[in-house]
Amino acid sequence: MKSLAGELLIAMPHMQDPRFARSVVYLCAHSEEAGAMGLVINKPLVSLTLDELYAHLQLEPSRLNQSRPVHFGGPVEPGRGFVLHTADYEEEATLKVGGDFAVTATLDILRAIGTGGGPRRSLLALGYAGWAPGQLDAEIQANGWLSVPADAELVFDRDLDSKWQRALAKLGVDMTMLSAEAGHA
């Protein structure tokens, strides 16, 4: 099995689970032993902005936040926050993913972002998407997901509405040509 950590998962058009319909997931980890963990990067929480989260956590908000969205990272542990960011910021708890991305789940990174000393680019997600060992691989085999290498422009772009189509376009895929059945065009 090839690890897909550092890649984007793109939900196929027939994805039935409403939490993942038309979603793009950045895969933070993927292995045979541990399963997979990722963050949905194109679904904002409509009820919460980054400024509001800072106020709730009693942190000083950054002038740079300006109503940046907080993302629905996935259905697992929805109260837990994760910052997906460029690899130019690192602390002890940071998980580097590939050469360009990292994930940090501490208040320290939020403080750093608030003071302008954090990563160059970032997005905050509450919750994560998780798969048991072999589960994601089975979903890919069943034609539930496509994968594509991640790039910072797509991951951190604030145009969330077209992110799914743009991720598919990276593969040269016309979504109108996708079949819901594996092995069929």
What tokens appear for 71 in the block? 């993302």
- Which of 31-35, 41-45, 96-100, 103-107 is predicted with the least confidence, judged by mean pLDDT? 96-100
Interval 134-145 mean pLDDT: 95
pTM: 0.90
CATH class of 7-82+124-177: alpha beta
Residue ranges of domains in the chain: 7-82+124-177
What tokens appear for 166 in the block? 């743009």
Q: Distances in Å between the alpha carbon of 37 and those of 50, 97, 114, 135, 151? A: 23, 12, 26, 11, 18
pLDDT tier for residue 177 given thresholds of 50, 70 and 90: low
Summarised one tens digit per residue, pLDDT across range 67-86 is 688 999 999 999 999 999 99
Q: Is 154 helix (H, G, I), strand (E, B) or coil?
A: helix
